[in-house]
Amino acid sequence: MIREIFELQNPWRSTVDYPFNFKNREILKALLDNLNNKKILGLIGSRQVGKSSLLYLIIQHLIKNNVKVNNIFYFNLDDRKLHELYENIPEFLNFLGGSNPNEKKFVLIDEIQRLPNPGLFLKELYDLHLNFKIIYSGSSQLEIKSKLKEYLVGRSRQFEIHRLSFNEYLHFKAPITKRQVLEETLIYGAYPEVVLENSIIEKKLCIKDIYQSYVEKDLVDLLKVENPQVFNHLLVLLANQSGRLLSMDSLAKSLRISRKKVEEYLNILEKTFITRRIYPYYKSYRKEITRTPKIYFMDLGLRNFIINNFNDLSLRSDKGNLFENCVLLEMLKNDHYSFNKINFWRTTNQTEIDFIVTKDDGIEAVEVKWDKMKLPKSFQTIKKYYPEMVTKVISKNYFLNG
């Protein structure tokens, strides 16, 4: 039975010129650059962002580069029957046909968090120093972190897989104009499945399915959130204050739960790739805010679904917040190795810069404006504090004319 399931999951092993019909992703180059080192390669990200497709693209690359199909092993652990293979190392190695020092074998494990103890299994396999390259994907960072823990320290390199970037959207949906891409991203987000739908109704239904799957599988089944109704209410509150300072006490009071419980729920949202908090940039000057974060959503279609607002941009009072959120996501998506640090800057008299981006080659102060205007006065203020900062305004023209 296990062999039959495996063969069904690996059709390229028996089909000459198997047709891989998956569109390229920008992060693929970084993943391929890491195929030759000894580290375990991890792909983490929300459900439906394309992790499995990336694994298939890696397999396609291997086959095109003359790796024998019999040295490529793909396991999708959504099929629980395959879990029996992972109960002990000798049985797993026997299934793979052992190790050949002259031929590297590639083991790709999809949805690894399905295993009860994947960290120990991967550590034991890695520590045998066989001629294997192990690649895994996982959908919940909370589960992955709890199950892999210290086992993979120094043994693994993880990449976060995001929804589609602006340029990827252009590629996936060609022919389409840049203006259409920007407007659709702000309203319906950038999950690949949503992007590929042409019907507005189908886009909304896809987003609804993704949200319900998240609530039912991640929150209730896996993370055992005891009060999904309160959690959903929190999501509505957060969606309505996206891009704004986050008051933990205010949220706790509105939800009638403890501040500690609010923090727990926010951690769940971040570790399941739904929201992202960014924190103030400061150097202990007396007038700088130093603690209160701002909250953003990792997909705007999901955010708009939560508040039940898919109105056209011309009717949106939150257009500026949507665009600011979009710019943050674009910066995250283009930083494949997560080298850059993104903060915001604000003083006690409410002078604010949307994003402070710390890179290897310097620090940028980035202000986001839907319609470009003259340089904001906040640039003059921040230059007094940090004269070394480069200032930059990003407007919609950055996407439309770039």
User: Can you tell me which residue has the tokens 């996982």?
Assistant: 138
Non-local CB neighbours of 293 within 8 Å, separated by 6+ positions: 245, 246, 277, 278, 279, 280
Percentages helix, strand, coil for the chain, rounded to the nearest 5?
50, 15, 35
- CA pseudo-torsion sign 53, 95, 133, 81: positive
User: Does residue 144 register a pLDDT over 90?
Assistant: no
- Whether the predicted pLDDT of 244 surpasses 80: yes
Contact 85, 92 (CB under 8 A): yes
Strands 156-160 and 40-44: parallel
Lowest mean pLDDT among 82-91, 114-123, 154-163, 201-210: 114-123
Asked whether the beta carbons of 343 and 355 are under 8 A apart, the reply is: yes
The model's pTM is 0.94
- Residue 326 pLDDT exceeds 70: yes
Rounded Cα distance, 262 and 237, in Å? 12
> What is the per-residue pLDDT across 343-371, written as a single tens digit (0 to 9) for each?
999 998 889 999 999 999 999 999 999 98
DSSP, collapsed to helix, strand or coil, labels residue 401 as: coil
pLDDT of residue 15: 87
- Please list the residues that pair with 135 across neighbouring strands: 41, 108
Q: Is 83 exposed, middle or buried (0-12, 13-18, 19+ CB in 10 A)?
A: middle
pLDDT at 94 over 70: yes
Q: Hey, what are 29's tokens?
A: 């180059």
284 pLDDT exceeds 90? Answer: no
Q: What is the pLDDT of residue 285?
A: 72
> Who contacts 200 (Cβ-Cβ below 8 Å, separation ≥6)?
310
The whole-number pLDDT of residue 229 equals: 87
- Whether residue 307 contacts residue 240, with contact meaning beta carbons closer than 8 Å, is answered with yes
Q: Is the pLDDT reported for residue 142 higher than 70?
A: no
Residues 6+ apart with CB under 8 A from 365: 345, 353, 355, 356, 379, 382, 386, 389, 390, 391, 392
Q: What is the mean pLDDT of the chain?
A: 92
In order, the DSSP letters of 18-30 are: --------TTHHH
C-alpha to C-alpha distance for 277 and 296, rounded to whole angstroms? 6
Instruction: State residue 237's pLDDT score.
Output: 96
Residue 222 has pLDDT above 70, yes or no: no
pLDDT at 288: 82
Q: How far is CA 303 from CA 186, 269, 314, in A?
A: 10, 12, 18
Give pLDDT, residue 226: 77
Banded model confidence at residue 146, pLDDT cuts 50, 70, 90: low
108 in Cβ contact with 53 (< 8 Å): no
Q: Determine the average pLDDT of the residues in 64-80.
A: 95
Helices and strands (H, E) in the chain, number of each type: 17, 11
Say what angle helices 178-188 and 319-333 make with each other, to 10 degrees: 100
* Cα separation, 250 vs 170, whole angstroms: 40
Which pLDDT does position 287 carry in this prediction? 82
User: What single-letter amino acid sits at 3?
Assistant: R
Q: Which CATH architecture has domain 2-160?
A: 3-Layer(aba) Sandwich (3.40)
pLDDT at 378: 93
Give the pLDDT of residue 69.
95
Categorize the per-residue pLDDT at 133 as very low, low, confident or very high, splitting at 50, 70 and 90.
Answer: very high
Give, to the nearest 10 degrees, the angle between helix 141-148 and helix 118-126: 60
Report the percent of the chain where pLDDT is more than 70. 97
- pLDDT, residue 145, reads 67
What residue ranges do the domains of the chain occupy? 2-160, 166-400
pLDDT tops 70 at residue 140: no
Is the pLDDT score of 52 beyond 70? yes
DSSP letter string over 144-197? HHHHHGGGGTTTEEEEEPPS--HHHHHHHT-S--HHHHHHHHHHH---HHHHH-
Task: Using alpha carbons only, give the angle 184, 190, 196 rounded to the nearest 5 degrees.
Answer: 80
| Angle (nearest 5°) at CA 140 between 135 and 145 | 75
